[in-house]
Amino acid sequence: MRTELSYYLIRNFQGFRCFIREQYFWFRSTIESYALSGRYDPDGYEEYAQAIYVSELYERFSGIINKEEKDALKYLRYHNPNEDPPNSYDKAILSCYEKWVSVFFKSKNRLMKEIDIKVLGQVMKRVRLDHRLSSTRLAQIIGVDRSTINKYENGQRMPTLVNLLKFCTLFRITIDELISTSLF
């Protein structure tokens, strides 16, 4: 199944194993490397937003699995050929797979083309930081309180269309570019 991400998540057991073993770490490293780079890269904002999105789904998935299932995932991810699998490994890994599918494919997540204000806020913050602008200064330019900017960036409040326009004009990006990073 191709999601609205520019990335393939395959809805079968092999796709689950591949995601657990390798792909999740790619998303985590994308977030970390982009945050550390401090570079202005409008093309990278979408990749950054997608990595945040998948990371959030994984956190949701991690929150619904029990200790036995976590041990099974750990074994799947890092197992040493000389180690024996944990007790009830097959049952636990199948249960993990079913929960993974429910979070990544069945739940009403952002694959419905809704704006995720949390991701939008994180991208707005990344744009602001890339331009080395403080939240106080941005608030002055846009004409709002600094607390409003913080609420936007923390995903606690949706920016008004007027404020989005001011933000995008200031940083020379289109509203489409900014909003598309948070549509899933």
Q: Number of folded domains in the chain?
A: 2
- Retrieve residue 95's tokens: 């249960």
Q: 156 Cβ partners below 8 Å, 6+ apart?
A: 117, 121
Both 100 and 62 in one domain: the answer is: yes
| Separation of alpha carbons 146 and 126, rounded Å | 16
Which band of pLDDT confidence, cut at 50, 70 and 90, is reported for residue 147?
very high
Evaluate if residue 12 carries a pLDDT over 50.
Answer: yes
Evaluate if residue 118 carries a pLDDT over 90.
Answer: no
Per DSSP, the three-state class of 2 is strand
pLDDT at 8: 60
| Domain extent for 94 | 13-111
User: Is 107 part of any domain?
Assistant: yes
Evaluate if residue 133 carries a pLDDT over 70.
Answer: yes
Q: Name the amino acid, one letter, at 75.
A: Y
| Separation of alpha carbons 159 and 179, rounded Å | 11
Q: Which residues pair with 115 in a beta bridge?
A: 183
Which band of pLDDT confidence, cut at 50, 70 and 90, is reported for residue 64?
very high
User: Is 98 part of any domain?
Assistant: yes
| Separation of alpha carbons 58 and 35, rounded Å | 19
Q: What are phi and psi of 62, to 5 degrees?
A: -60, -30
Both 174 and 132 in one domain: the answer is: yes
User: Is 4 part of any domain?
Assistant: no
pTM score, whole prediction: 0.58
Tell me which residue of 107, 95, 75, 77 sits closest to 17, measured CA to CA.
77
| CATH at 152 | 1.10.260.40
| Separation of alpha carbons 155 and 12, rounded Å | 32
87: left (phi over 0), alpha (psi -120 to 50) or beta: beta
Of 1-15, 72-86, 169-183, the least confident: 1-15
Evaluate if residue 145 carries a pLDDT over 90.
Answer: yes
Q: Which residue has the higher pLDDT, 182 or 154?
A: 154
